[in-house]
Amino acid sequence: MRAYRLLDWLTDPVLTELDTPEPGPGQVLVRIGGAGVCHSDLHVIREFPPGQMPWSVPFTLGHENAGWVEALGSGVRGLEPGQPVAVYGPWGCGECDYCLRGVETYCERPDRAPVPRGGGGLGLDGGMADFLLVPHARQVVPLPDGLDPVTAAPLTDAGLTPYHAVRRSWPKLTPSATAVVIGIGGLGHLAVQIVKATTAARVIAVDTRHEALELARTLGADTVVTPGDNAAELVRDATRGRGADVVIDCVGTDATLAFAAATSRVLGDLTIVGLGGGTLPVSFFGLPFEMSVQTTYWGSRPELVEVLDLAARGRLHTEVTRFDLADVAEAYRRLEEGTLTGRAVVTP
């Protein structure tokens, strides 16, 4: 089979040929229908020198995956060959408190996990290939009727991550509240829809690109703002001077975090989703009183089930640009250039 693999740290991945794996006891082999191209892959490719991550190379990239069950290992129940499925990407130990709740992102026994703090495409072979071996059947989620693997693949991260961020702030997203989404890319365009689909709050979308803001409008954003000298004032004006109850920063640079703090309301939430490497100075008078600032990493398996259900009912639309597996390097190039709208999906 073909696989797009990172052979060494700080090098460009290459498309290679591998033997198709066979599932062992409890495992599932998935024939890939779609694999999302995520910006975090660029951090893995470009920024991590040997020894910085608790992973070994080589491994196949691709942590947003969906397809069809190809083969089942012994002991697997509840799945059938040919069944369309999504793959829950973070792979924990399956035994600690968080894993038992379905929050394998925060596994407390990484020494017992298939790979520490990672999963398929993050330390182990992922879905930028014809087939993906999933180490445990609990990490395979059947797709609801009406949802195909190409659409579902990016929902496993680009949908799940902002869903988790929005969901944890539901109590503050009342009908009189406003949410600001910064960065209307692969995650942000879904974050806008998630707020609109699950709350009655107003949404303000922020991006530097005209086409991204137009997409946000079509997906339900009530107001769009281009960053600039008066951007924070525009958000304040749109919220009658109060500021945003919830800010979801899908970029995470110094500039976007400063903007988020300048537009947040007292008692508001700021959730940092993007891996832009920025920092936010914290001091007594530096932030609105009782503003909560948090980071999140991915989401839980039960939340993924909810995301897939929303998409199957037409409440979430994934803006997808398709690439063949032979063109996966071009997909990453366009992602790095910032010329993609929505999410790139590789379709072997």
| Same domain membership, residue 143 and residue 42 | yes
Q: Phi and psi (nearest 5°) for 344?
A: -85, 135
pLDDT digits 0-9 by tens, 306-329: 999 999 999 999 989 999 999 999
The total number of structural domains in the chain stands at 2
Return the DSSP state at 122: B
The residue segments making up the domain with residue 248 are 160-295
Query: Do residues 153 and 164 both lie within one domain?
Result: no
Query: Which percentage of the chain shows pLDDT scores above 90?
Result: 97
- Per-residue pLDDT tens for 27-72? 999 999 999 999 999 999 999 999 999 999 999 999 999 999 999 9
Q: Are residues 196 and 209 in the same domain?
A: yes
Same domain, 7 and 100: yes
Write the Ramachandran bin of 254: left for phi over 0, alpha for psi from -120 to 50, otherwise beta: alpha
pLDDT tier, 244 (very low <50, low <70, confident <90, very high otherwise): very high
CATH at residue 9 = 3.90.180.10
If asked whether residues 42 and 71 sit together in one domain, one would say: yes
Question: In this structure, are 65 and 165 located in the same domain?
Answer: no
318 and 279 in a single domain? The answer is: no
- Same domain membership, residue 230 and residue 333: no
Asked whether residue 123 falls in the same domain as residue 13, the answer is yes
Same domain, 30 and 153: yes
pLDDT digits (tens, 9 = 90+) for 177-232: 999 999 999 999 999 999 999 999 999 999 999 999 999 999 999 999 999 889 99
Q: Report the DSSP pairing between strands 123-124 and 59-60.
A: unpaired
CA pair distance 109, 53, nearest whole angstrom: 16
Q: Are 116 and 172 part of one and the same domain? A: no
Q: Return the amino acid letter for 102.
A: G
Which residue shows structure tokens 């083969």? Answer: 71
- Estimate the crossing angle of helix 301-312 against helix 188-198, to 10 degrees: 80
Domain at 222, CATH number? 3.40.50.720
pLDDT digits (tens, 9 = 90+) for 128-176: 999 999 999 999 999 999 999 999 999 999 999 999 999 999 999 999 9
The overall pTM is greater than 0.75: yes
Mean pLDDT of 107-128: 96
Query: How many Å apart are CA 319 and CA 323, to the nearest integer?
Result: 13
